[in-house]
Copies of this chain bind each other. A is one copy, B any other.
Amino acid sequence: MTDYIAPLDDIRFALSTFAGLDEIATLPGYGQATADLAEAVLEEAAKLAAGVLAPLNVIGDRQPSVLENGVVRTPPGFAEAYRQYAEGGWNGLPFAEEIGGQGLPLALSTAVLEMWNSANLSFALCPLLNIGAVELLEAHGSPEQKALYIPKMVSGAWTGTMNLTEPQAGSDLGAIRTRAIREGDCYRITGQKIFITYGEHDFTPNIIHLVLARLPDGPAGSKGLSLFVVPKFLVNPDGSLGERNDLRCVSLEHKLGIHASPTCVMSYGDNGGAIGFLVGQENRGIECMFTMMNSARLNVGLEGVAIAERAYQQARDFARDRVQGRPATGGASILYHPDVRRMLLHMRSLTEAARALAYFAAGTLDRARHHESSAERQRQQRLADLLTPMVKAWCTDAAVEVASLGVQVHGGMGFIEETGAAQHYRDARITPIYEGTNGIQALDLLGRKLLRDEGAAARELLGAMRANLAAIENQSDDLQVMRVHLTEGIAKIEETIAWLLDRAKSDLPQALAGATPFLELFGTVACGWLLARGAASTDDQSRVLTARFFAEQVVPAASALGPAIKGGATVMGFDPDRF
């Protein structure tokens, strides 16, 4: 397999063009994010990613985390890498200054997270889950809870986990059965949780579990869930570790990919009940979860960007070295075969498109949080809400496609595990599933983001896209081609929005059956628009041609999804007993 080198040029371009980092750095509270600081952060992160984390990626694949006598041993080198990472202060990077973080724009921490994810997705999952846990505690924890846990979770001295899923409760959290019984100031937690990423590990002496559970007198369904902080070791008021809590990892899953990341079955309360502390109010746990959902979904979308980048680099390096036949265009390696070049450009364009969308969304969230105008903050938040399911689903679907193309570029060698391409194909496959399956993202886009405001936020974005495209009319042949295909795409989005809004009133299931192709259409056109914006802002012909490739090869097929989006009658008309 080949090395990973952080694509700093592409990242800088995405930060400046799609996130608008220069402008974000002028927003209140982001004054410290100077261009010099940003550059230093990117360069240092690139070193850690390439030098420390990336070489461990294949080791983790071949020597998965193992559970021995209740203790999880992560792959060789991982615990030491985590120590370096935490000591370097990287764990605090995504957090606000008030809680010990670096107070950097989300856009910039997005760029850093991309590098961790590219270098070693399994490793990066630990900090990723920790971000969600900190956000929850910061938003809903008591002052005592914040003081006790957050500083150590920000520094990386401890890690946080999210405990939601149970065997019968995956996408449907309302089916959660884990119980919580009041006992004085705290609660006794009993139940089994599955798919708990880094639920147990050897990185840090303590692990702070956030657990959704049900009170005996809570309402049925998701409105009867409460959120608890359940530390592996109880924490004394002075911050020192106290008693071992009644929870344990009982097994690890044998997974298709991300082998190094321990996916734990966690058992709470085998000996009378784990001690948990209520976060926020009773029966409001599900609302607490929504706090972290946006950033968690954006971060999983970013994983898609990252895996795509890694798979692309792997395939490109192979294609550069591999000699096979005499290419029609002269050069020596298979990179000069037209079909191989097409595959690589396809991989590259999907990767750049995914990065553009993810960074654009990150910049939008930065503005939603820090813009001086409250109207603008609201507008940006509407946009971020609209973009979030697209980033999660579109970028992760793209990652699977890019990783699969990456295998293909290698020919027979791609199927041999030693080569390294297959790991990306296996690892990438989790990203359309977790943090809300992509089907759920599509329903979120359609139900919460489109039907609820009757398409207002979507039309706002489409209007901006139209205005941008009008501005590049006749600037160059390349831009003109992009404009034509994208204008067609926007028209198709508008047309299908009208249809969906209408059909949802008369036959909701039929409208819902179109959610996934609708997200694909919208996400693809949004990506194409961003790439065209990027192309209009640069003289770099490789960037322009990548954007043009996307407009020619990807956008038209998405624009043709109208019949699929409107095909709900066929889908729902099919007799389920005939499957």
Contacts and interface: CB of A to CB of B under 8 A. Distances in A.
Nearest to A416: B253
Interface string A366-379: 00000000000000
Most chain-B Cβ atoms within 10 A of its Cβ — which of A171, A323, A568? A171
Interface stretch (A86-94, A273-281, A328-336): A328-336
A560 B559 contact: yes
B512 A335 contact: no
A557 B432 CA distance: 22
Given A255-B416, A439-B343, A443-B339, A563 B556 contact: yes
B549 A556 contact: no
Nearest to A442: B339
B338 A513 contact: yes
A309 to B, nearest CB: 13
A434 B411 CA distance: 8
A536 to B, nearest CB: 17
A567 B552 CA distance: 7
A388 interface: no
A58 interface: no
A578 B256 contact: no
A517 interface: yes
A434 B408 CA distance: 10
Interface string A153-194: 000000000000100101110110000000000000000001
A574 B345 CA distance: 8
Contact of A546 (B324, B329, B574): B574
A392 interface: no
A412 interface: yes
A517 B553 contact: yes
Interface in A541-573: 541-542, 545-546, 548-549, 551-553, 556-564, 566-568, 570-573
Interface in A243-267: 253-257
A256 B336 CA distance: 27
Contacts of A437: 408, 411
Interface in A122-149: none
Interface stretch (A76-84, A112-120, A417-425): A417-425
Contacts of A449: none
Interface in A357-398: none
Given A172-B325, A339-B515, A341-B513, A545 B563 contact: no
A254 B339 contact: no
A429 interface: yes
Contacts of A323: 168
Contacts of A438: 408
A422 B434 CA distance: 15
B255 A415 contact: yes
A491 interface: no
A509 B556 CA distance: 23
A400 B404 contact: yes
A214 interface: no
Given A509-B329, A516-B342, A557-B557, A548 B570 contact: yes
Interface of A: 165, 168, 170-172, 174-175, 194-195, 253-257, 316, 319-320, 323-325, 328-329, 331, 335-345, 348, 400, 404, 407-408, 411-418, 422, 425-426, 429-430, 432-434, 437-439, 442-443, 485, 508-510, 512-513, 515-517, 541-542, 545-546, 548-549, 551-553, 556-564, 566-568, 570-576, 578-579
Given A170-B411, A254-B417, A545-B570, 13 more contacts: A170-B412, A253-B416, A256-B426, A316-B579, A338-B513, A339-B439, A339-B442, A339-B516, A343-B439, A404-B404, A404-B429, A407-B429, A551-B563
